[in-house]
Amino acid sequence: GPCLRATGLEHDLREAEPYYMYDQFDFSVCVGTNGDTYDRFFVRVYEMLESAKIIRQALARLKNAPADEAKTKKGARKIAPPAGEIYDCTEAANGELGFFIVSDGSVKPYRIKIRAPSLCNYSAIERLSQGVMIADLVSIIGSLNVIGGEIDR
């Protein structure tokens, strides 16, 4: 996610393993250089601009789509996936949001484990806070965009 890209690693799941229609949109992956608070802030601001660019492209596609192509599905239906396990993930606002699902073949999952990005991001706080003043922790934690409910595991 943004915290990883702030360190200079150009990795975005929307580009590395495209899902939905991301491979059909033109967008840039923003990276920082130092992985510091400024870079994490810069990457998030730049990603908002890129998100707006993706939204404009999606709206243009929707506007030009034939009327029968832009339909919604009505009603939820229950499916019974085959027995087994799967891990899949998406690029969420704070990083990789993953789901590990184990199925026993029934309509209810046997087990679900959610990998929330905030827990991974927050685990770096000890290293990020070495040698800084206590007042700097406000900016550091804010730049990680930690969601409390995600780290309460």
Of 124, 128, 150, nearest to 137 (Cα)?
A: 128
How confident is the model over 82-135, as pLDDT tens digits?
999 999 999 998 999 999 999 999 999 999 999 999 988 988 899 999 999 999
* Pairing assessment for the beta strands 84-92 and 95-103 based on DSSP bridges: antiparallel
In angstroms, rounded to a whole number, what is the distance separating the alpha carbons of residues 5 and 152? 25
| pLDDT tens digits, one per residue of 11-33 | 999 999 998 899 999 999 999 99
pTM (2 d.p.): 0.77
Q: Quick one: pLDDT at residue 71?
A: 58
Based on its alpha-carbon atoms, the radius of gyration of the chain, rounded to whole angstroms, reads: 19
| Average confidence (pLDDT) over 145-153 | 82
Instruction: List C-alpha distances in Å: 24 to 11, 14, 48, 57.
Output: 18, 11, 19, 9
Q: How far apart are CA 33 and CA 30, in angstroms?
A: 10
Q: In which element (H, E) is residue 137 found?
A: helix 136-144
Query: 121, 73, 81, 80: which is closest to 97 by C-alpha?
Result: 121
Within 13 A of 120's CA, how many CA atoms are on the CB side?
Answer: 13
Q: Which two tokens stand for residue 39?
A: 């870079």
